[in-house]
Structure 1
Amino acid sequence: MNIGIIGSGALGANVARALARKGLSATIANQRGPASLAALVEELGPTIKAGTVAQAAAADIVLVAVRWVDLGRALGGLPAWNGRIVIDGTNPVEFLDPDSPDAKDPSNPLAAYGIKAIDLQGRYSSEVFREFVPGARVVKALNHLDVKVLTQPEVSGGQRVQFYSGDDAEAKAEVRKILEAIGHFAVDLGSLAVGGRLAELPFGPLAATNFIKI
């Protein structure tokens, strides 16, 4: 299983930690280059290596773990995806400068959390995301819970639930294997149009819902 991670922020780094805990290999990359990841890969051990964005994007299964507003910059100019699997770990939110007027906007119910929902004009986020990865088989996953729990799949005597959804059965099966390999209980929410909406932060009905399979 050849895994690439684009983005080394909270999501990308914690997925790398979850993989490393189980001895699984991956290549992690960011826009600043492999040298900027030296401390992280030293922490994680020999199964996780730093690479360029192009190297991470060349994997069979690629997690995109960048902020929504950075998608164009992070994914622009990459080679054709040619049916490879891309995990959409993003959510359509903007992170606010705490000193900005937006951070104190009383009309924004999420201002207290430091974020603002991005208006997608009625579209669901993976529908928009697919436009950044033409030709890829997109699976939505790893986006609906606090990233800190990704390395804590065993809890309260059971397994933490991770939702996933997609329009390609084979691609979903491969992503399910990854979720199960890092110790989570994987639950298929169906197509992107259905499941993606359900688990999409900030307003999906299942967003931030922490189920435990006993």
Structure 2
Amino acid sequence: MSIGIIGSGGLGSNVARALARKGLSATISNSRGPASLALLVEELGPSIKAGTVAQAASADVVLVAVRLEGLAKALGGLPAWHGRIVIDGTNPVEFLDPDSPDAKDPTNPLAAYGIKAIDLVGKHSSEVFREFVPGARVVKAFNHLDVQVLSQPEVSGGQRVQFFSGDDAAAKAEVRKILEAIGYFAVDLGSLDVGGRLAQLPFGPLAATNFIKI
């Protein structure tokens, strides 16, 4: 089963590192083109190659590792998904310019972390996300932990817990296989409406909860 990654920031690059450490193949992409990823793929080794967004999006399983506000630009114009599996790694947060007024807003409890919550008017982020990938089978994963720990699924003599959720049982089973092959202890949180809310940053009850299965 082929894996594609759209987005090469902290989320996309650290998932690629985790895949590379197990010798698992993937194509990683970004909006700047494959040449901009030369140093990253050199670091990661032969199992990870750079490609265009269209090439990454043609994989059997595609991780979308871009910010919520960037989905239209990242996914616009891609071919139909036709039931392929798309992993939603988004959260409803906006990343703030440290010199902006928002970064110093005393009414924002997250300002010290450089983010603020995006009001989705009662929706969770996967409800918004799936509008950009019509025909895809969406599974939520890789969104609830600090991106810096994603490349370290095995730690302290155990396995880091990775939550996932979705509405298609077969799609979730395939994502579970990938998570377990990477080295995570995969925990199914149920449907997107349930699990998406539980693990969604910044205010989901399980958001940023870093469990280790010993």
Fold in common (TM above 0.5) = yes
Alignment partner, residue 52 of structure 2: 52
Number of corresponding residues? 214
Alignment partner, residue 207 of structure 1: 207
Q: Deviations over 1:115-143 (max 9, x none)?
A: 01100000111011000100000000000
Alignment partner, residue 80 of structure 1: 80
Within-5 A mapping of 1:49-128: 49-128=49-128
Could you tell me how far apart the structure 1 residues matched to 2:119 and 2:134 are? 22
RMSD after superposition: 0.6
TM-superposed deviation, 1:147: 1.2
Q: Does 1:23 align with 2:23?
A: yes
Could you tell me how far apart the structure 2 residues matched to 1:53 and 1:208 are? 29
Q: Deviations over 1:41-98 (max 9, x none)?
A: 0111111000000000000000000011111100000000000000001111100001
Amino acid at match of 2:146: D
Amino acid at match of 2:161: V
SS at 2:4's partner residue?
strand
Superposition misfits of 4+ residues, deviation over 3 angstroms: none
SS at 2:59's partner residue?
coil
- List runs of 5+ in structure 2 lacking aligned partners: none
Alignment partner, residue 130 of structure 1: 130
Could you tell me how far apart the structure 1 residues matched to 2:52 and 2:153 are? 29
- List runs of 5+ in structure 1 lacking aligned partners: none
Alignment partner, residue 176 of structure 2: 176
Q: Deviations over 1:126-170 (max 9, x none)?
A: 011000100000000000001111121122221110000000000
SS at 1:135's partner residue?
coil
Amino acid at match of 1:128: V
Alignment partner, residue 198 of structure 1: 198
Q: Decide which moves more: 28-37 or 147-156.
A: 147-156
Alignment partner, residue 156 of structure 1: 156
Alignment partner, residue 144 of structure 1: 144
Alignment partner, residue 185 of structure 2: 185
Could you tell me how far apart the structure 1 residues matched to 2:78 and 2:156 are? 42
Could you tell me how far apart the structure 2 residues matched to 1:196 and 1:142 are? 11
Q: Deviations over 1:153-210 (max 9, x none)?
A: 1222211100000000000000001110110000000000000000000000000001
Amino acid at match of 2:68: W
